[in-house]
Structure 1
Amino acid sequence: MTATTAADDDAVNARHHEKMRKHKAARDKIMATKSGEKGLIIVNTGTGKGKTSAALGMVFRHIGHGWPVAVVQFIKSPTWDTGEAKLLAKFPELATLHIMGEGFTWETQDRARDIAAAEAAWARAKELILDDRHRLVLLDELNIVLRYDYLSVAEVVTFLREHKPADKHVVVTGRNAHADLIEIADLVTDMTLVKHPFRQGIKAQKGIEF
């Protein structure tokens, strides 16, 4: 191995400094053109884990800033023992949580019941989106009920495009986001599955999945 000298280190440091100086100048130029703000439609989709977790990160950031948020969970059941529900309950003045699902669709095995639950959750979601109090509304697993045609995609897209307040953030999670929803979204992230412990025989674990 060749030993480095102080002169070598100085040269490396000088090249790094110059590279970062140019990088900062380029970034500053780009950032100078970004001055607008608006309420975003955000979609977290894909086969990978982390869609709801990422969305909850934005929820908790809002709470940290003292901004009220609302969460509607379209699939999770009120009987589920989830960490997010316990944590959100600690901020009643800032967090409104509605757990309105019936559990996984393969558990209910009752399409009419699932549709009724989805419609009730969507009605509540619209109220919360129109409510001036909440700065962000998370529609957790809405993509799932849209995929199974429990709700009209056209109705959801039209409402979000035409009736969402201009300064309101709406976050939608779940696999298989519909193309029409992706089209109107401002930010779309596709979580890609690389590895998952479930395939190794490991069950969903408290603190990781719920």
Structure 2
Amino acid sequence: MIVTGSELDDEAANTRHAEKMRKHKAAKDKIMATKTGDKGLLIVHTGTGKGKTSAALGMVFRHIGHGWPVGVVQFIKSPSWDTGEAKLLAKFPELVTLHIMGEGFTWETQDRTRDIAAAVTAWERAKDLIRSDANKLVLLDELNIVLRYDYLPIEDVLTFLHDEKPADKHVIITGRNARPELIEMADLVTDMTLVKHPFRQGVKAQKGIEF
């Protein structure tokens, strides 16, 4: 059997790769051995890019997959909206408490008093879900929008999350323009960056992608 130079090169490359990965795994294992903490996380998804709610719902669905109950409050979306996530979440009534409590985008209502009233009602419901032992995770969808427009006092939200969120409860907050104070308090913050969006090419929001 004749072994070509190319085959020898491949074998050497494979050997180098295996050794590199062995060292990489040893280093990672050493790091992972130091990560022993376990706590309920305050998670913020913000930024101009698409995917903030979608990523949060991924965590919601992971909890459902593990059989863990979750609570969801949507601060902006209206009950009249035909969203895919609402239809799917409704299929797990024993694991999901869903409250769709918005009245649409702020530029649609054009009524600040009405928007504030809706936000206050939704926040009271959110606090109940966070306090409840029944939920392992609570998603506060688009709460950042509410805080951006000062429909709720940021100090009240931060104080509640600091003082009353159970230590083992995960809370996810989504929406653009997260307040710096909330980012400072959070354990995990992801800023979705807009690189390209079909809306700028004249493409409307599409079922299954945006809702």
Structure 1 length as normaliser, TM-score? 0.98
Instruction: Give 3-state SS (helix, strand or coil) of 2:194's partner.
Output: coil
Q: Which residue is 1:50 aligned to?
A: 51
Q: How does 1:66-81 map to 2 (within 5 A)?
A: 66-81=67-82
Structure 1: give runs of 5+ residues left out of the alignment: none
Q: Are 2:125 and 1:124 aligned?
A: yes
1:11/1:174 CA distance change after superposition, 3 Å: same
Q: Are 2:199 and 1:179 aligned?
A: no
How far is 1:4 from its partner? Answer: 5.7
How far is 1:5 from its partner? Answer: 1.6
Q: How does 1:138-149 map to 2 (within 5 A)?
A: 138-149=139-150
* One-letter amino acid matched to 1:194: V
* One-letter amino acid matched to 1:70: G
| Deviation sequence 1:127-180 (CA, Å, 0-9, x none) | 000000000000000000000000000000110011100000000000000011
Query: Where has structure 1 moved over 2 Å in runs of 4 or more?
Result: none
Percent identity reads 80
RMSD of aligned Cα (Å): 0.8
How far is 1:89 from its partner? Answer: 0.4
How many residues in Structure 1 have an aligned counterpart in Structure 2?
A: 208
Q: How does 1:6-155 map to 2 (within 5 A)?
A: 6-155=7-156
How far is 1:108 from its partner? Answer: 0.2
* One-letter amino acid matched to 2:81: W
Aligned counterparts of 2:209 and 2:162: Cα–Cα separation in 1: 33
Structure 2: give runs of 5+ residues left out of the alignment: none
Instruction: Give 3-state SS (helix, strand or coil) of 2:139's partner.
Output: strand
Instruction: Give 3-state SS (helix, strand or coil) of 2:37's partner.
Output: coil
